[in-house]
Amino acid sequence: MSQYGDRGLDTGRSTSAAPFDIENLQDFLQGPWRFERKVHDTLIDQQGDCLGDASFLADGDKLIYREEGELKMGDIETNTEREYHYTFPAPSLAEVRFPDGRFFHVLDLTKGIVRVEHQCGDDTYHGLFRVLSDKAWLSVWRVTGPKKNQVITTHYLRVPVS
């Protein structure tokens, strides 16, 4: 059982009837989060787990997302890190970019759930984001390409600020 309990979250499904709508995305995201990530790679027939910490830190009128975690996949154990920049053209809308400024995707959670897509060379990233509560959200990425066939499911849980 994960830190989120046995609620069927690994499939990307919530037991709640409807997603939790977000009107002010920047306020919702800002602050510290814990994450649990499941990676399923069908090409190499392996599954992995990554646990870590993430934060959305204010930088002027944008948020900088940074995460650090530990990935265990088969015999491999490695540290991971990731960074994205979120700008907000509207309170409910974020443009997500890589640190070098390249566009990644738009995020709009006013309905509590959204699908996005990103093309990276020959690889296609289909993403689903769903807000589960005011303290939890989920992202699911399906990555396909000539050398990739993965599903990456990440659950985020807000860290209480003391």
Strand partners, 63: 58, 86
Strand partners, 77: 72
What is the arithmetic mean of pLDDT over 33-56?
A: 96
CA distances from 114 to 12, 32, 51, 130, 159 (A): 13, 22, 24, 7, 23
CB atoms within 10 A of CB 79: 10
CA distances from 127 to 59, 60, 83 (A): 25, 27, 17
Domains identified in the chain and CATH numbers: 21-158 (2.40.128.20)
Mean pLDDT of the chain: 89
| pLDDT of 115 higher than 80 | yes
For residue 142, is it left (φ>0), alpha (ψ between -120 and 50) or beta? Answer: beta
Q: pTM here? A: 0.86
